[in-house]
Each structure stands twice: as structure tokens, then as C-alpha cells.
Amino acid sequence: MDIQSLKEIVKGVALYIMPIVSVIFSGIALWKTRKVSKMEDKIREYDAFIKKAEVDKIKAEQMRIPKAQIDARVTKISANKHKIYVYNKGDAIAYNVDYELEEGSCVSKIGNNMTPL
């Protein structure tokens, strides 16, 4: 091989093969860029969905009014003695709690007879 034929080979590679290779690399880069762009769009959609859900949750919590929920429990201490526990199960503080025992509403079973407290 002489230098002239080597120059012809290098010239052929530079004129035909290098542009084809660069077009192939550009096509691959464009394809990967589109793929990444689609993935970014999906991530933006998911992010927007999550943010909207968080905003809805915060609004629901702000709209919910905390309430006091008073409950009572009667426990038997001895044969004729009972103790009533009144407590708050709700989220808010209960102020000025007052309770009444209606006649016959609290019933205790002694033997076979039902008697009011």
C-alpha cells in the first residue's frame, strides 16, 4: 500500500462513513431525549396530582370543626355504691359540662331484680 491509496481510504471514510455515524449518534440522542421528555411529563403529572391531593387534605382538615364528645361510664364499686366517669372523647376542649341522671335511666342488677341507682 502506498501513501496515495491510504489517502484515498481516509478521504472515503471522512466523506461517507463519518457523516453516517454522526447521523446515527444524533438519532440515538434525539430518541433518548424524547424518552426522557415523556418521563418528565409523567413525573410532572404525578407531582401535580400529589400536590392537589395534599391541598384537598389540608382544606378538608381546615373545614372540619373540632367538637367535644362527652361520654360517661358507670362502674360498680360495692353492693350499693356506683361511680360515674364523665370524659371527653372529642378533639376540642369541653367547657361547662353538666350532666343529669334521669329517674330510672341507670339501672343496676342486684340478684334477679333490676333497681335504679
Q: Are residues 42 and 13 both part of a single domain? A: yes
Assess whether 20 and 60 both reside in one domain. Answer: yes
pLDDT per position as a tens digit, 29-84: 999 999 999 999 999 999 999 999 999 999 988 888 888 888 888 888 887 787 88
| Total-model pTM | 0.43
Q: Which of 9-13, 89-93, 97-101 has the lowest mean pLDDT?
A: 97-101
The answer to whether residues 48 and 79 belong to one domain is: no
Q: Quote the CA–CA distance of 57 and 51 in Å, as a whole number.
A: 10
Helical residues (DSSP H) of the chain, grouped into ranges: 3-12, 18-63
74 and 58, same structural domain?
Answer: no
CB 69 within 8 A of CB 63: no
| Domain ranges, residue 28 | 1-64
The residue with cell 382538615 is 61
Q: Are residues 22 and 57 in the same domain?
A: yes
Q: How many domains are contained in the chain? A: 2
pLDDT of res. 103: 67
CA–CA separation, 74 vs 82, rounded Å? 7
